[in-house]
Each structure stands twice: as structure tokens, then as C-alpha cells.
Amino acid sequence: MKRKRYLFILPALLTLGVYSCKREAPLPIKSPYQPTPVKPSDIFPASFGMPLIPKDNPLTEEGIYLGRMLFYDPVLSLDSSISCASCHRQEFAFGDPKILSKGVFGLLGTRNAPPLFNLAWQRTFFWDARQRRLRDLVFEPIQDHREMAMNVIKLEEKLKSLNRYQAAFRRAFGEEPNLHHMSLAMEQFLMSIVSADSKFDRFFPRNLSVFTPEERDGFLLFNGTPDSTTRPATGADCFHCHGGVHAQAIDPSIGIVSNGLDATITDKGYGNITGKAFDLGKFKTPSLRNLVYSAPYMHDGRFASIEEVIDHYSDNLKFNAPNLSPQLNHGNLHLQLTAQQKRNLMAFLKTMTDSSLLTNKAYSNPFR
Ligand code: HEC
Ligand code: HEC
């Protein structure tokens, strides 16, 4: 072994010798900091409109790649057992099929891990909309004692001690590993996850010919408004909160609402953030894209199937839920959709399925 190593060093010494003869003083090592900019229009579809990209964190290939490494790396957790991807799994649209996710030492959280895609357009994050910037958000799971339980000072030391991160941070930000650049890289990677390749995208904004008759009827139901007397209702009024290309009201002033799950509040949701009684039981409206992959549903994962969700809106809504959105109360009468209407609605929801998200190598584990 030893002998072999010397054999390698010998030519290296010789080359150094040649160089030092040519030059008087060695030149400073040229900084390898030359990140490759990523054109937003290359990754964000025009139909979505361009998202706001933070001016101080332009997307670069190296930045996104570093963020991707960090996302899949269990070194971010106390005992190096849990990565972001333990709970946000690509094969489930970056959600978790378990009602509650397991963090370090098998500890359980309190809410369902949402799927992650098209975050670049989002204005608030988490079910209770408590975060506004992805770079701030990442510190929550890292430090949460039931998730990754990591001390961030220790984390910085850990990253500095690993060769792979010394090189990757230098390439992405021109400096040695630090927490600020860690959060910016993760912000870049999270923003880069885009899901826009579904039948619904070929329909958008209104090419009804791509739909089967069932999907078309489901679409019309989804976008129809019920009157307060006709039952079964001729419109299911989903679009007020889940309309548009994102299938989600992104504007926080209309997207944070109660959809009537409980008469008695167990999770205060947005009310816990604002401290206001009229925000109790309100949650951020999720996107309805990729539902096929992201069961279970709602902030607490209470519904195992899309059928159960449709039954909730059709027959089980709690009209006495505190702060129920008026958009969901049509004269205190349930929608009472027929079995066929429910099937149509389901067929339409399934058009928002993008299987390429599950296999796109740009978001997959870089360590494999
Ligand atoms: C132990 C499981 C677990 C781990 C590990 C975890 N998350 Fe999460 N994540 C969750 C849960 C649960 C929520 C919802 C929490 C809430 O809303 O209060 C969530 C929410 C999010 C959201 C908000 C999505 C939205 O639509 O509002 C983002 C973004 C996110 N996580 C990214 C990350 C990143 C990045 C990491 C790694 C640093 C990470 N998560 C690690 C379980 C986890
Ligand atoms: C007034 C706004 C509003 C309307 C109208 C509305 N929703 Fe929702 N929807 C929400 C909110 C808020 C949530 C999250 C609630 C929670 O988790 O506590 C949600 C959650 C969901 C989910 C779960 C998604 C997930 O990832 O967990 C599905 C599916 C859904 N809605 C479908 C529908 C359908 C179908 C309709 C029409 C019949 C509809 N919604 C009408 C606000 C609305």
C-alpha cells in the first residue's frame, strides 16, 4: 500500500518542480466560483406566469444541486438518520403516505407532511401559513425535536468538516459551508421543483376537447356555483379556493380559510399564528394537483381517499364549524351530489396527475 502511494506522489512532485522553475512566485489559486445561471424561463412554464425569485438568491445550477444534496442528506439530523426526503418522498409527490411522519428516534409530528411542488409561486408555507420564505422555513424541520432535532451550530461544523460540502458550497457560493448559504441553496432547490405535465395542463386555460365526457362534466361541476335550493347541486363550487392553473388560491387573503372539517377546533391553525378568534381553524388551501400520489388528505391526514374528501364536501360539511368560509355554506344545505357527479368530479381531479414528477432526475437523490 505505502509503496503505491509514493508512486503517485512522485510524478506530482516532478510536475510541481517544473512549474516552480517557470514562475517566480506561485499565482493565487483561481477561485472556482463561477456558478452557471439558470434561466427562470427554462424551468418555469409560461402558463404559470413567472414566479418572484428573490433578488439576492438567483437560481444557479450549482446552487440548486447543493440544495438537492442537502435535501437528501441525513447529516442534517441529530443522529444522521433523517433527511428532508424521509418525510417528503419523491414517489409520493414529495409527500408522506403516513398520516404523521416519523422524525428522529421514531417521534411523530402533529400534522400530515404535504407534497412539495410549484413552491416558487406560493406566498405562504406550512398548513397554518406561518412562514413566508423558504430560506427561513428550512430551519424549522432541521431544529424541530420531533423531526431532525439538530443544533444548527453543530450542523455548520458538520458541513464544514465534509469534503463534499466544502467543494459544493465553494462551487455554488464561493465560500466555505455556512448556514446562510445552506438555506439559500435549499430555497433554490425547493423552488426548482415544478409539476406542470398533466392532462390538465394540456387543457389549460380552456381546451375542453382533451377531456373525456366524465372529466368534462367533473370540470363543469368543479367550476359551477350551486344555488341555495336545487339538490343534488348543479355546481360544487371548488374553484373559489382551488381554481386556476395551480388548483389553489395562492393569495393569502383568500387562500387561508376553514373548509368546515370540525365543529370543535382541535388544531387552531392560522389562529395560532395571528392570535385572532376569526382565524381559528383556518388553514392554507392546498393544491389539488397530484392528489393521486399524496394521500392521506387534509392537515391532519384524516381522509385516506379522494372519495372521502368528496363525501366531506358533498354530505358531511360541518356548518357550525367556527369561521367556516361562506363560500362553502350554500343555505345550510349539503350539496348532495349523486354517485355519478362524484365520479365525474373524481375523474376531473385525476386529470391533474403528473407522473413525471415522480421520476424526474433533476429532483431525485443525487447520492444514488
Ligand atoms: C419528520 C418529517 C419531516 C421532515 C424530516 C421534514 N419535513 Fe417538511 N414537513 C413535514 C410536515 C409534517 C409538514 C407540515 C407541517 C405544518 O404545516 O405545520 C412539512 C411542511 C413542509 C413544507 C411546507 C409546504 C407547504 O406547501 O406549505 C416545506 C416546504 C417543507 N416541509 C420542506 C422540508 C425541508 C426542506 C426539509 C428538510 C430540511 C423538511 N421539510 C423536513 C414533515 C417533515
Ligand atoms: C372555501 C375554500 C374551499 C373550497 C370552496 C373548497 N376547498 Fe378544498 N380545501 C380548502 C382548505 C382550506 C383545505 C385544507 C383544509 C385542512 O387541511 O384543514 C382544503 C383541502 C382539500 C383537499 C385535500 C388536499 C390535500 O392535499 O390534503 C382536497 C382533495 C380538496 N380540498 C378538494 C376540494 C373539492 C373537490 C372542492 C369542491 C367540492 C373543494 N375542495 C372546495 C378550501 C376549500
Q: What is the pTM of this model?
A: 0.92
Residues of each domain in the chain carrying CATH 1.10.760.10: 40-194, 199-355
Average pLDDT of the segment spanning 254-262: 98
Give the angle 270-115-199 at the CA atoms, nearest 5°.
120
pLDDT in tens, 87-126: 999 999 999 999 999 999 999 999 999 999 999 999 999 9
Ligand 2 atom 6 nearest Cα: 238
Q: How far is the CA of 328 from the centre of ligand 1 (A)?
A: 28
Instruction: Place 32 in a pLDDT band, splitting at 50, 70 and 90.
Output: confident
Ligand 2 within 6 A of CB of 240: yes
What is d(CA 161, CA 338) in angstroms, rounded to the nearest whole number? 62
Question: Per-residue pLDDT averaged across 281-301, rounded?
Answer: 98
pLDDT in tens, 239-251: 999 999 999 999 9
Residue 309 near ligand 2, beta carbon < 6 Å: yes
Q: Which atom of ligand 2 is nearest to the CA of 301?
A: 27
Q: State mean pLDDT over 70-89.
A: 98
CB distance 100 to ligand 1 below 6 Å? no
Residue 334's φ and ψ, nearest 5 degrees, are: -65, 155
Q: All 3 cell numbers of residue 253?
A: 387573503
CATH architecture, domain 199-355: Orthogonal Bundle (1.10)
Residue 298 CA, closest ligand 2 atom number = 17
Residue 256's H or E segment, with its range, is strand 256-257
CA-proximal residue: ligand 2, atom 10 (nearest): 285
How confident is the model over 266-282, as a mean pLDDT? 98
Q: Tell the residue nearest (CA) to atom 2 of ligand 2.
A: 241
Residue 95's Cβ-side half-sphere holds a number of Cα atoms within 13 Å equal to: 27
Q: Which of 64, 83, 87 has the most ligand 1 atoms within 8 A of CB, as the residue to mutate?
A: 87
Q: Which fold has domain 40-194?
A: Cytochrome Bc1 Complex; Chain D, domain 2 (1.10.760)
Average pLDDT of the residues in 39-50: 96
For residue 297, the CA-to-ligand 2 centroid distance in Å is 9
Distances (CA, A) of 258 to 183, 281, 306: 31, 6, 19
